[in-house]
Amino acid sequence: NAGVMQNPRHLVRRRGQEARLRCSPMKGHSHVYWYRQLPEEGLKFMVYLQKENIIDESGMPKERFSAEFPKEGPSILRIQQVVRGDSAAYFCASSPAVQGATRGEQFFGPGTRLTVL
């Protein structure tokens, strides 16, 4: 049973370009979470999605950032017009429905390290 998969693992963008980060949850998991980790810091919650629904995006910047989790395919975190301050590691986590989500058991992917030049 494959774990949470994220791609690409490393992404380099120039200022003003768009970054698309993909996350495939564990098989059978319908809840996806995105976290951002700045250098030397812990993870900060960004957004929580279920299939086709954004449940909580309170941790996501209001501009340039968007996330989706379509009925088919991976979850996408999209950053438009990237700036240097967006350079960070972006982690996706998933959990099974109901009990897993409420207990807080989340399984993390390896992360995408975004570097903005």
DSSP conformation letters of 34-87: EEEE-TTS-EEEEEEEETTEEEE-TTS-SSSEEEE--SSS-EEEEE-S--GGG-
Which CB atom, from 17 or from 30, has the smaller least distance to another protein? 30
Determine if 43 is a binding residue for another protein (CB under 8 A).
Answer: yes
Among 1, 40, 72, 99, binds another protein (CB under 8 A): 40
- Two structure tokens written together for 113: 């390290």
Of residues 74 through 103, those in contact with another protein by CB under 8 A are 91, 93, 95, 101-103
Look up residue 109 and give its two tokens.
């992917």
Nearer to another protein, 45 or 64 (CB): 45
Q: Give the residues lining the site for another protein (CB under 8 A).
A: 31, 33, 35, 40-45, 48, 55-56, 59, 91, 93, 95, 101-111, 113
